[in-house]
Structure 1
Amino acid sequence: MPENSIPTLYEWAGGMPAFEELTNVFYDKVLKDELLEPVFKQMSGEHRLHVAHFIAEVFGGPELYSTEEGSHFKMIQKHLFKHLTEQHRKRWVTLLLQTADEINLPDDPEFRSAFVAYIEWGTRIAVLNSNTDQLLMNPTEPMPKWGWGVPGGPFPG
């Protein structure tokens, strides 16, 4: 990375190993959680890796998810008819943020602001899509791209 360039959220977090660790530790918690376990108990063995690749790509990492594992549209489709509630969403967010702390994802306010903003946005959309029977979305809609947002990058101090 050239000097003075702002790293992507993906780079700042530690690259793919950080996202794979995040989803592995997180889904271990999910499968022990009385509220979330029934929703996720049938997930495929690849689910954790797919979620890691999806989040990593959204945060500026390699396009593994969209080129090899699906598309934004296909990911949205996976939530249809799941009937997720606000209680599910809040528990999912809580466990993910606990996991981020446990695995030592960066905790600077700039990174965490962007990370939490995406998680909040994405989980709210998942709840909406899980409670509809018709997906009004263009199947070719690109993957979301998430950056530093208003802060403009990590604080250099």
Structure 2
Amino acid sequence: MTAAGRPSVYDAVGGEDAFLALARAHHRRCLADPELEHPFSGPDQHPQHVERLAAYWAEVLGGPARYSRGCADQTHVLWLHSGNGEIDDLGRRFLACFLLALDDAGVPDDPELRACLRAYMEWAVADVLAYSPPGAEVPAGAAMPRWTWDGLSA
């Protein structure tokens, strides 16, 4: 429970299994998108991409630190997405797939929860896109983001 007496965003979504279902639904949506399909099916895709994505989202949204302890850190996440050039349309498509995947995965249809998840993903896409210009330098030691009901936590 948070200080305000409500569950974390992680718990409101449904915990680990719900985040895995969301990452799987999102991945399916991205593979079905003609522009996102290539980056989501390319040879550079990690074999546990979906599981890692679920762990990342879960950690950022209040769950256990499985991603940062067992996979990578925020600097690595930003580096993976850096230097790809103009990809604003991919960001919009990624967000659209995420929002549709909420229903596919059975995330509770709570307007406050959905607004929180949308705000997080809009912020996350913008954060990643900030490093998309060729030659963009990713800062070492970037802090793992923490997103709460009130937005990005300091």
Q: Could you say whether these structures have the same fold, taking a TM-score greater than 0.5 normalized by the shorter chain as the test? A: yes
Q: Which TM class, normalised by the smaller chain length?
A: 0.7 to 0.9
Structure 1 residue 32: deviation in Å?
2.2
TM-score by length of 2: 0.88
- d(CA) in 2 for partners of 1:136, 1:81: 10
1:88-130 C-alpha deviation (Å, 9 max, x unpaired): 1111111111010122212212111211111000011212212
Answer yes or no: is the 8 Å Cα contact 1:31–1:37 preserved in 2: yes
Partner of 2:29: 29
Structure 1 residue 84: deviation in Å?
5.0
From the CA coordinates, give the structure whose radius of gyration is larger.
1
Percent identity reads 28
Partner of 2:87: 85
Partner of 1:99: 101
Answer yes or no: is the 8 Å Cα contact 2:56–2:67 preserved in 1: yes
Answer yes or no: is the 8 Å Cα contact 2:9–2:61 preserved in 1: yes
Quickly say closer, same or farther: Cα 1:47–1:146, change in 2 above 3 A.
Answer: same
Partner of 1:143: 144
SS of alignment partner, residue 130 of structure 2: helix
Answer yes or no: is the 8 Å Cα contact 1:60–1:145 preserved in 2: yes
Quickly say closer, same or farther: Cα 1:125–1:40, change in 2 above 3 A.
Answer: same
Q: Which amino acid aligns with 2:114?
A: R
SS of alignment partner, residue 119 of structure 1: helix
Structure 1 residue 51: deviation in Å?
0.9
Pick from 101, 110, 116 the counterpart of residue 108 of structure 1: 110
Aligned positions, number: 148
Answer yes or no: is the 8 Å Cα contact 1:83–1:127 preserved in 2: no
Answer yes or no: is the 8 Å Cα contact 1:89–1:123 preserved in 2: yes
Quickly say closer, same or farther: Cα 1:68–1:84, change in 2 above 3 A.
Answer: farther
- For structure 2, which runs of at least 5 residues remain unmatched after alignment? none
- For structure 1, which runs of at least 5 residues remain unmatched after alignment? 151-157
- d(CA) in 1 for partners of 2:138, 2:54: 26
Structure 1 residue 136: deviation in Å?
4.5
Could you say what the CA RMSD is over the residues aligned between the two structures, in angstroms?
Answer: 1.8
Partner of 1:45: 47
